[in-house]
Structure 1
Amino acid sequence: MARIEIDGGDLVVTIEGLDKLWALKSRLTVPLTNVRGATVDPGIVKEPKGIRAPGAHLPGVITAGTFHRDGERVFWDVHDAAKAIVIELADERYARLVVEVEDPRTAVALIENALHRS
């Protein structure tokens, strides 16, 4: 699971628990100017992930780490599809962050509100 925060002009995604081990990351920081938007998207877990490098993928259990698909790099940290959000990025290492959060609607609202204020 991930925790979403806004710190000044940055979006901070903190990977919690053992997911740090599976995803090989503990924190991602992205300037809000490079965040295009966020959506609640439980269906995304059914889409092809691409090539895992590095990370873990056990269908129906966990998808965590970096995946390459169609020339894009996507970061995943999802156990429960119902709690998945997608954060679209521009001019960053990752094209998208797909993470599980405690309350998807609240996390998306936090991101979208920060984008409208910046």
Structure 2
Amino acid sequence: MPSITLAGSSLNVEMSFWERVGSLSSNISVPLTAVVHATDDPTFIRHGLGLRTGGTGMPGFVAEGHFRKNGNRIFANWRRGEQVVVIDLQGQKWDKLAIGCPDAQALATQINTAVAGLAG
């Protein structure tokens, strides 16, 4: 599963070689100022990511790559059994990141706290 880290003023999504191959993407780094909000949303993947425009996907098992839904550009890297954290972005290549992780609620809280720290 990808690793999400907060380093300085950026949010980084680091993927293994095979995750990068499956998603047709490289590691992602966005400034924290571009992060609007992060949520623990267990239904996000289940309700469908829309049209896959690149990457690997098998509904209910794996979602890696580029998707479009309701005008949003979504990058997903999730596998069955993982929780999903959804990160809303502004002014970036992606409108949303849907990333698999072991504890989405804790990760969303950590991201939102870091974003709030920039504003306050």
TM-score norm. by structure 2 comes to 0.89
- 2:97 — aligned with what? 97
CA separation in 1, counterparts of 2:50 and 2:109? 29
After superposition, the Cα gap between the structure-2 partners of 1:64 and 1:112, relative to the gap in structure 1 and judged at 3 Å, is: same
Coordinate RMSD, CA, aligned: 1.5
The SS at the match of 1:20 is: helix
Q: How many residues align?
A: 118
Residue identity opposite 1:6 in structure 2: L
Residue 103 of structure 1: how far off its partner (Å): 2.1
- 2:27 — aligned with what? 27
Residue 28 of structure 1: how far off its partner (Å): 0.6
The SS at the match of 1:42 is: coil
Point out where structure 2 has 5 or more consecutive residues left out of the alignment: none
- 1:66 — aligned with what? 66
CA separation in 2, counterparts of 1:60 and 1:109? 26
CA separation in 1, counterparts of 2:69 and 2:113? 30
Percent of aligned pairs with the same amino acid: 28
Residue 66 of structure 1: how far off its partner (Å): 0.4
Residue identity opposite 2:106 in structure 1: T
Residue 81 of structure 1: how far off its partner (Å): 5.8
The SS at the match of 1:44 is: coil
CA separation in 2, counterparts of 1:102 and 1:3? 10
After superposition, the Cα gap between the structure-2 partners of 1:23 and 1:6, relative to the gap in structure 1 and judged at 3 Å, is: same
Point out where structure 1 has 5 or more consecutive residues left out of the alignment: none
- 2:114 — aligned with what? 114
Say whether the 8 Å CA contact 1:42–1:81 is kept in structure 2: no
